[in-house]
Amino acid sequence: MPDPTIPAHEPLADELLVVRCLLGEAAAFDELVAHWHEPLWRYLRRLLDEDEAAADAVQDCWLRVLRSLPRLRDPARLRPWLFGIARRTAMDRLRAEYRAPVEADIDPETLMADPQDDLREDQLAAMHAQLQRLPLVEREVLELFYLRGLSLAQLVDVLAVPLGTVKSRLFRARGMLRAHLLAEDLSS
């Protein structure tokens, strides 16, 4: 479910920004940072769960963006490309920190069809607070899908997993989040 707050012409604007950057227009790089810095930082903050680590990571991420921009084949796909770089930056840091793979294997038993049930507005608002309590994999997929407006197809690119895995992660993450929200409702 794409974020309804994203204007329909945004891919065109994104592509224009990338093309101007590729031409070497200094103002375009400023606009790119102004537009995407906060979403990338919030995503990294969510993944790394620490202000200082997220601040370092977002600077590293922007350097990587700068160096990789000429290799962006489809400028209209700026959004998943940026989050893909941010994700790799975060994973590199986590790997260096823990010296172990951070991705948990998906249990085949949990692979189920997306029930397509939408979350209510109040649950989406509460998600911001509850998201931090979820494990990394589930937190990440909810962040990208609901809060950063990436489509399922874009998630396939960013997370580098098949569509079925994206759906199963999303399904499981929503279930976990729902359980957290219900538990909070009961306790309050």
Partner 1 sequence: MSEISGMPPAAVIQARVSTALALPSRLRHTALLLVATAMAGVTGALALTEPGLPLRTRLALGALAVGGVAWAMFAGWVLARREVLFGRHRLIAGWMAVGFSAVLTMTSAVAAWMDRRTTMWLPATGVGVVMLILAAVLLHRAHGDVRALRTRRDALRAALETHEVAS
Residue 187 CB-density burial (10 A; 0-12 exposed, 13-18 middle, 19+ buried): exposed
Q: Tell which one of 2, 3, 49, 63 touches partner 1 (CB under 8 A).
A: 63
C-beta of 75 vs 80, nearer to partner 1:
75
Q: Report if residue 22 touches partner 1, rule: CB under 8 A.
A: yes
Q: Is 29 in the site for partner 1 (CB under 8 A)?
A: yes
Burial class (CB in 10 A: 0-12, 13-18, 19+), 113: exposed
The Cα–Cα gap between 31 and 33 comes to 5
Which structure tokens are listed for 6?
């994203």
Q: Looking at 51, 92, 97, 118, which residue binds partner 1 (CB under 8 A)?
A: 51
Considering only residues 68 to 107 of the shown chain, the ones binding partner 1 according to CB under 8 A are: 69-70
Is residue 64 close enough to count as binding partner 1 by CB under 8 A? Answer: no
Question: Alpha helix (H) ranges present in the chain?
Answer: 10-23, 26-48, 51-68, 78-98, 121-130, 136-142, 152-159, 163-187
176 binds partner 1 (CB under 8 A): no
The residues of the shown chain that bind partner 1, judged by CB under 8 A, are 9, 12-13, 15-16, 19-24, 26, 29-30, 33-34, 37-38, 41, 45, 51-52, 54-55, 58-59, 62-63, 66-67, 69-70
